[in-house]
Amino acid sequence: MNTHSQIIQSLSDLCRKPQGPRDRQLLYGDGFTILERDGDWCFGRATKDGYQGYINTADLAPYTPATHWVSVLSSHAYAAPNLKSADQMPLPFGAQVTVEAEHGDFFQTSAGFIPRQHLRATGNFLDDPLEVAKMFLGSPYLWGGNSAAGIDCSGLVQAACHATGRACPGDSGPQQEFFPASEGDWDSGQLIFWPGHVALTLSATELIHANAHAMAVGIEPIELAIARIDAAGDGPMLQRSNLT
């Protein structure tokens, strides 16, 4: 069985087993290839990065190619093209939608009416992954999370990459393998890897990461973060790679 489907919930947990722990999250409109069915759950792989796991069948519908994506930290789909109408569902950064019609300042989609200024056409990417990462400052840390409602270290890096047209795996281990190691001085646009953790440098002195120490996305001095993570027993630093 190879059935191409897509997520129709704001967020859907991609689980290790049916009703099991969350490994990642998929966003509204993300493609998902169903490989087998197991009761109320489907096993398959995410189109955007090949990540495999189980999705609740109720979160899936037949695939429709997206025309636009949510390019702000979060948006809402409304019941009518009116900001005072009922909101149907929240839509996270990176969610993909299919525009069916235009109504003034709103685009009509199967999810509802979305403010025009919150969407970009598919393939119209943002320019700077560092600026994308900074959009998530203060967002709570969530293991396996992929949105501003809760995000982890590898989810933050993937969001920054995908929003700027860069391929990126979903977990820090595969990310370390995907981005070749580099040497030299610290600079902006580098990835720093530890066992099970990744951060993105904003400059020669600062990094940004979703981290369990602060339980949020935050900025730290590079050398302080390296020393702190090592002292906590979660080090040592394994690799740096160039992202930009």
What is the CATH number for 109?
A: 2.30.30.40
> Does residue 81 share a domain with residue 53?
no
What is the CATH number for 157?
A: 3.90.1720.10
> Does residue 147 share a domain with residue 43?
no
Q: What is the span of the domain harbouring residue 16?
A: 3-62
What are the tens digits of pLDDT across the range 154-211? Answer: 999 999 999 999 999 999 999 999 999 999 999 999 999 999 999 999 999 999 999 9
Number of domains in the chain: 3
> Does residue 196 share a domain with residue 174?
yes
What are the tens digits of pLDDT across the range 78-106? Answer: 999 999 999 999 999 999 999 999 999 99
Three-state SS letters, the chain: CCEEEEECCCEEEEECCCCCCEEEEEECCCEEEEEEEECCEEEEEECCCCCEEEEEHHHEEECCCCCEEECCCEEEEECCCCCCCCEEEEEECCCEECCCEEECCEEEECCEEEEHHHEEECCCCCCCHHHHHHHCCCCEECCCCEECCEECHHHHHHHHHHCCCCCCCCCHHHHHHHCCECCCCCCCCEEEEECCEEEEECCCCEEEEEECCCCEEEEEEHHHHHHHHHHCCCCCCCEEEECC
Banded pLDDT at 1 (limits 50, 70, 90): low
